[in-house]
Amino acid sequence: MRSIDAMLVWTPKHPHTESDETAGRVKVVTVDTDDNAFLCSAGSCDIGWDAMSDADRFKHLHQLAEDMIADDNTPREDVYAELDKVEGFRASVR
């Protein structure tokens, strides 16, 4: 998937969301295949996403990933496994 099309959807894992079956999970989707079961979304659904360069989108995705890991208790390996679906993302974080 191209970075311009990528949208992350996730549900934080916190005491108030633990009963949610998507708590602590993340997926990379497109706006057209959005999974409404998740509470949060960012990426191609954001205003101005299409105006960013690939480098700026990768930087934004990387920061979002680190925030999800630190603040939302989403497993690092799950976040980066999903982001590997975005063409060029892995090379951008080196």
The whole-number pLDDT of residue 34 equals: 66
**Among the ranges given (29-38, 47-56, 73-82, 83-92), the one the predictor scored with the smallest mean pLDDT:** 29-38
More confident residue, 92 or 69: 69
The candidate with the shortest Cα–Cα distance to 65, out of 50, 76, 54, is 76
Residues β-bridged to residue 9: 27, 41
Residues β-bridged to residue 29: 7
How is residue 20 written in tokens?
């949610």
Transcribe 1-15 into DSSP letters.
--GGG-EEEEB--ST
- What band does 94 get if pLDDT is binned at 50, 70 and 90? low
